[in-house]
Structure 1
Amino acid sequence: MKRRAGEREKELKKKKLLEQLGENRLPYMTPADADFHHLWKTKYSKLIFRKSDAVPEELHQMVQEGFLTLREHNCFFQDLVRIKEKDFITPVSRILIGKPGCTYKYLNTRLFTVPWPTEGYDIKYCSPQIHDACKALIRLNEYLHIEAIKALQGQNLPETKEIKDSTVTDREQNFGVSLQEKGSVSKDQSSSVPEDDYGSLKQRTSFNLTLLNYMDPLQMLYLKQEPYFGMGNMAVSWHHDENLVERSTVAVYSYSCEGPAMEGSNDQKLKGRDPAVWHVGLKVAWDIETPGLAIPLHQGDFYLMLDDLNMTHQHCVLAGFPPRFSSTHRVADCSRGTLDYIFGQCELALQNLQTDPDSRALSLKSLETAVIKQVEEIHNEVEFEWLRQFWFQGKRYLKCTDWWLNPMAKLEEFWRKMEIMTSLVLSEVRKKERIGEQRNEAISCFLIALTERQKLRQVWAARKRSVDLSGDAEGRERRPRLSFTSAWPPSERCQSQAAENLPEDQKPECHPFWTDEDCNMPLPYDLEDIIADLQNLVQWVE
């Protein structure tokens, strides 16, 4: 609900801004403008930019070879995302690489990291070259972590004054560059941050994953035009990055495959940004007074968005002519997005399941409403935030590694036990000997979780529906309701029109899915009849 409310608020703000503009366009500046640096220092000082010569050549070579390797192995994928209840394929192709077991969710799609080589984890890559590419991105990650700490210290934020991190010096020496800050950036007026309000400097710069992007604009049939400033073709629309630790840094390394004919068109008398060159665009969020920025990006340049810049400002990526890779390093908020977290949730739920030592029959330890609610919510989380999200992306991850298959199989085993637990709750609440008020409370709580499950299954895999006006097994009158027929598919997200355009091995799979003939499942996939019966039971008890 909060996400939908946020999306509606953004749409209203966007609509209002466009109405204010009418046919006009807001001003923006590039480095060619006389007031560009003054604007940057006064309104965008938490954006730090470094040209490629600031990065060790050895690191450039490793990372750029890694990009090309991943492209050669077809490891970049267009994501199927959902915006305002509609599915879209992203124009940019992506791959998420990072700590084993981490995920990153954006636009209602959860991406699963291709794990970079990590001590203590057995990670089998599909080729040694993919291993080397992932290893190169760890090196880049470490380098950008160091640069982010230095940049934050240069901002003179209150919480940076006491930070002493010896690991910075140690790692910096590995790359053979000094700790001396290159250039200076004046402090933004909004830089004053209460020292105790946020996490440590190190936590907000310890990137746990990187989202790699690739796009060849000349292969795109259509690119959206930037709507506010008239900056030209956009590869990525205006946005704030989602699902990040608050006030954490975002670091972006850019590699556009420029050749002699692609170095820009400085000889042309162009007003505004050079359309041949990739740019990052920035603007103050929902502001029509402050001019925007368009900063050119060349091979090996990188930039940092520090502190609260991602919250107070928006950014976009403006397409040039050549193909471009980027590696966007983030401190993703993984409080609910790691395997450790979801396995812990499963263990918590399964504590309520017990096995008779003699008969091996399964039963529930507790039928307290709070326990039922907790278990069924975890059940929904495992099914819709993990299992369905993973298989929704087809078999794309097998292009790089099979690492995720074992943990997902384990999660599915836990989920099947939770299906049994749901059937056990259902049997208990249907017993007439249960006390009326307690029974009614348990049914009402149970209904909320099952109704949510049914609604989400319809989103992921909807069937043709018909109206049922019949009564129930005990002759009580049943309200008109929609029920599913046996016509499978089509489905919503898994077989949307957008999904049809994906390659065969990337097309969504509706999993888990079963039919009524599957005797291994304790409950039907379609819960509509069960929900209707429980609704009638609540009325009957009352």
Structure 2
Amino acid sequence: FLFQWKTKYSKLVFRKSDTVPEELHQMVQESFLTLRKHDCFFQDLVRIKGKDFFTPVSRILIGNPGCTYKYLNTRLFTVPWPTEGYEIKYCSPQIHDACKALIKLNDYLHIEAVKALQGQNLLESKETEDTPVIDREQNFATSLREKGSVSQDQSSFCVPEDDFTSLNSRTSYNVTLLNYMDPLQMLYLKQEPYFGMGNMAVSWHHDENLVERSTVAVYSYSCEGSPAEETYDQKLQGRDPAVWHVGLKVAWDIETPGLAIPLHQGDFYLMLDDLNMTHQHCVLAGFSPRFSSTHRVADCSRGTLEYIFGQCELALQNLQTDSNSGALSLKSLETAVVKQVEEIHNEVEFEWLRQFWFQGKRYLKCTDWWLKPMAKLEEYWRKME
């Protein structure tokens, strides 16, 4: 197990719950329960291979104001966490506190990810090919026992400024996708097909629409001590089906053994550098309900309000208003200009307005922050129409 982890999955960093400040645990876990109590988790309607499905996992996206995240053809809109310079009205003080706790977790995981990448770089530069495998495995096992993680705390490292800027940008999380699932409420869970790992809450996949080589950080909170866990006392080999796990495999490879890491209350893990692209991961269900907070550097080059408002203003440069009648008309009828305007028109309608409204009034359970910008987008759309 340790040999496979070290040689095939070395960019997966795992940290036990006792490495995280207890105060942060308490704040974050209370935020999960608060959002659940206020019915803020929703199953997403997604499209896979041309067919529409509701996800078995319920989710909510929290992050930078005006930021969105798209996966499986569905665009999610952030419930904005408290951000300086933005006026955000939450539906209750409890939801404000929950979002505030999650940005604190976000800041903590950012720092831990930078440390882990620094440690990874140092290990790669020091490790030589003639180092005996048994020595590397022994050192790895010692690190895992002593630190509760794959790589040690490297907070004292000194790195060049350019390298630090790169590490910082690849770990500056702008969104977190929160997940909730109670396996006992599911009528059916798909079986892991390649390694016999058992029930899957989330099938094998890469995370989509992320900044290249950015780190993904996942904090896990399973409601341990549930009646289902307490009544389960079967001796078995391999993965304990009562415990949640994250599974990893080399992408498009079922010959290399997969890895299943148990996740207990308050553990977190990091998928460093290009691991999300070279490998696939899944989530293996346990018996108890589970929350997770998955922090990502979303590629927002086409997914922010700033971007889409800029596109609208570009399109409306071709619009003129008659000074007498107030009627609108086009300045230019050149094919390239008209085509560009229509492409922006369609982008506003199909990538923003329809995506927002088909999800109903889910966001109003947390905040009305998105209503004004969406009204502004509708106004732009009417002018382009």
TM-score, normalization by structure 1: 0.63
The answer on whether the counterparts of 1:265 and 1:276 sit within 8 Å (CA) in structure 2 is no
| CA distance 1:260–1:87, change in 2 (3 Å) | closer
| CA distance 1:50–1:210, change in 2 (3 Å) | same
2:112 matches 1:147: yes
The answer on whether the counterparts of 1:159 and 1:200 sit within 8 Å (CA) in structure 2 is no
SS of equivalent residue, structure 1 residue 228: coil
Return the alpha-carbon distance in structure 2 between the equivalents of residues 258 and 200 of structure 1.
38
Return the alpha-carbon distance in structure 2 between the equivalents of residues 131 and 359 of structure 1.
48
Q: In the alignment, residue 85 of structure 1 is paired with which amino acid? A: G
More strand by percentage: 2
Return the alpha-carbon distance in structure 2 between the equivalents of residues 268 and 259 of structure 1.
16
The answer on whether the counterparts of 2:65 and 2:80 sit within 8 Å (CA) in structure 1 is yes
Displacement of 1:70 after TM fit? 0.2
2:251 equivalent among 257, 268, 285: 285
2:376 matches 1:410: yes
| CA distance 1:181–1:272, change in 2 (3 Å) | closer
**Corresponding residue of 1:257:** 223
| CA distance 1:324–1:142, change in 2 (3 Å) | same
Return the alpha-carbon distance in structure 2 between the equivalents of residues 84 and 127 of structure 1.
39
SS of equivalent residue, structure 2 residue 166: coil
| CA distance 1:199–1:143, change in 2 (3 Å) | closer
**Corresponding residue of 1:342:** 308
The answer on whether the counterparts of 1:97 and 1:134 sit within 8 Å (CA) in structure 2 is yes
Matches within 5 A, 1:49-448: 49-156=14-121, 185=151, 200-259=166-225, 268-419=234-385
The answer on whether the counterparts of 1:264 and 1:277 sit within 8 Å (CA) in structure 2 is no
| CA distance 1:159–1:269, change in 2 (3 Å) | closer
SS of equivalent residue, structure 1 residue 402: coil
| CA distance 1:183–1:158, change in 2 (3 Å) | closer
SS of equivalent residue, structure 1 residue 211: strand
2:11 matches 1:46: yes
The answer on whether the counterparts of 1:150 and 1:181 sit within 8 Å (CA) in structure 2 is no
The percent identity for this pair of structures is 87
| CA distance 1:263–1:388, change in 2 (3 Å) | same
| CA distance 1:225–1:208, change in 2 (3 Å) | same
The answer on whether the counterparts of 2:57 and 2:201 sit within 8 Å (CA) in structure 1 is yes
**Corresponding residue of 1:469:** none
The answer on whether the counterparts of 1:215 and 1:324 sit within 8 Å (CA) in structure 2 is yes
After superposition, the C-alpha distances for 1:501-541 in whole angstroms (9 at most, x for unaligned) are: xxxxxxxxxxxxxxxxxxxxxxxxxxxxxxxxxxxxxxxxx
SS of equivalent residue, structure 2 residue 260: strand
Displacement of 1:256 after TM fit? 0.1
Return the alpha-carbon distance in structure 2 between the equivalents of residues 223 and 183 of structure 1.
30
Return the alpha-carbon distance in structure 2 between the equivalents of residues 264 and 307 of structure 1.
38
CA RMSD of aligned residues (A): 2.4
| CA distance 1:346–1:158, change in 2 (3 Å) | farther
Return the alpha-carbon distance in structure 1 between the equivalents of residues 288 and 228 of structure 2.
7
Q: In the alignment, residue 219 of structure 2 is paired with which amino acid? A: Y
Q: In the alignment, residue 116 of structure 1 is paired with which amino acid? A: W
| CA distance 1:350–1:198, change in 2 (3 Å) | farther
Displacement of 1:359 after TM fit? 2.6
SS of equivalent residue, structure 1 residue 389: helix
Q: In the alignment, residue 366 of structure 1 is paired with which amino acid? A: S
Return the alpha-carbon distance in structure 2 between the equivalents of residues 295 and 68 of structure 1.
25
Higher relative contact order (CA 8 A, sep 6+): 2
Unpaired runs of at least 5, structure 1: 1-35, 162-179, 187-194, 420-542
Q: In the alignment, residue 325 of structure 2 is paired with which amino acid? A: S
Return the alpha-carbon distance in structure 2 between the equivalents of residues 278 and 134 of structure 1.
25
Matches within 5 A, 1:515-526: none
Report the number of matched residues. 358
Q: In the alignment, residue 49 of structure 2 is paired with which amino acid? A: K
Displacement of 1:185 after TM fit? 3.8
Return the alpha-carbon distance in structure 1 between the equivalents of residues 123 and 226 of structure 2.
46
Return the alpha-carbon distance in structure 2 between the equivalents of residues 347 and 160 of structure 1.
49
Displacement of 1:158 after TM fit? 11
